[in-house]
Amino acid sequence: MLGYHVPAPDEAMLISGGKNGVGDNPFRVVIGHGSFVLPLFRKVRFLTLAMCESEVEEICVTRQGIALSVRAVIAFKVGNDEESIVNAGQRFLSDQDQMSVLTGRVFAGHLRSIVGSMTVEEIVTERQKLATEVLDGSKAEMAKIGLTVDSLQIQSIDDMKLGYIAAMAAPHNAAIQRQAQIAQAQANQASAEAEQESQRRQAEYARQTAVVQARYKAEVDRAQAEAAQAGPLAQAQAQREVIAMRTELAQREAELRQQQLVAEVVKPADAEAERVRILAQAEAEKMRIQAEAAASHNRVALDRMLIDQLPQIVREAAQGLSGANVNILNGADGLGELASGLVGQGMAILDSVKKGLTEKPRLPEGQSE
């Protein structure tokens, strides 16, 4: 907008002309906001509030009359209050670079004054004291021109090859060198002791290793000797075990062969003998029945016919025993029971046939025989 001005964050806007001043101030100060300025009737200028730097390198003479070259850096700025801004604006607004020049001159004077009241030893060993006294001495003068100092750093102090500072440091250097030599000697001694300790440990390790190896070899030799002695005993024991196992195997093979003989020879022979005995018994029974039939003179022809068939019946029943693998659990008694069963079955068949032939068939009612 025409006539409206806004200062930067690190600037102060100074408006002059008219009756803008407050009290004795020749201009109005605006910070942090804008303001409308009437063109032609008002004039606007800007004063920096940023940090500035000034370097000082001054030849100073100490209380001892020794010349020193002191180099320092000052960090300063325009104060934030309106009075400081007005004071700085009146002095530096037209040429703001002059703030650094004037600040350097102010501090150079105070630096010569403070150094002149101190010794070289104090200046070298107490730099912060020197900086503090220079700041305190220049604070009032800097405030008059609207400036404040943030820091002062003494960067270097040089006796310009006079050798005083070096001579002053010589005792300390000598002491430090002695301490360094002592420390080096101690370090060398410690290193030698460490080397000796390392060699001693290596020797001890070698000795212990030799002892362990000797023990190990002795154990190996003893184990080999025992193994050599135990070899024949172990072999004999193994042979005994092999013989026992072979004996057991032969016994089992004999038992199996015996069982095979029983199954292949004894049982078929027993079955054949039993068959012959059964046939003989059947033949004897046939003769007995024939005798009884002849004595009774009753149905001789029929009984003879049936009696003639009895041996054939028993023979057919006993025929299967010759090729059968029959297990007789109770020996001769079992064979007798088997034969009796066959004869009994033949007799039962004979009785059934005779009964069927002798019974008369029943006639229907109203019929006679």
Does position 91 have pLDDT exceeding 70, yes or no? yes
The reply to whether 19 and 90 lie within a common domain is: no
Does position 277 have pLDDT exceeding 70, yes or no? yes
The two three-digit tokens of residue 267, written as one number: 């049982």
pLDDT score recorded for residue 369: 45
The H-or-E segment that residue 225 falls in is helix 164-261
The reply to whether 6 and 45 lie within a common domain is: yes
Is pLDDT larger for residue 325 or for residue 271?
Answer: 271
Q: 95: domain range? A: 52-173
Mean pLDDT (the chain) is 79
Whether residue 5 lies inside any domain: the answer is yes
Does position 190 have pLDDT exceeding 60, yes or no? yes
d(CA 365, CA 320): 49
Question: What is the 3-state secondary structure of 312-332?
Answer: HHHHHHHHCCCCCCCCCCCHH
Residues 6+ apart with CB under 8 A from 139: 149
The reply to whether 102 and 124 lie within a common domain is: yes
pLDDT score recorded for residue 337: 60
Whether residue 317 lies inside any domain: the answer is yes
Is pLDDT larger for residue 290 or for residue 302?
Answer: 290
pLDDT score recorded for residue 327: 52
The reply to whether 93 and 152 lie within a common domain is: yes
pTM score, two decimals? Answer: 0.45
Number of domains observed in the structure of the chain: 3
The reply to whether 103 and 2 lie within a common domain is: no
Is pLDDT larger for residue 208 or for residue 317?
Answer: 208
199-231 residue pLDDT tens: 888 888 888 888 888 888 888 888 788 777 766
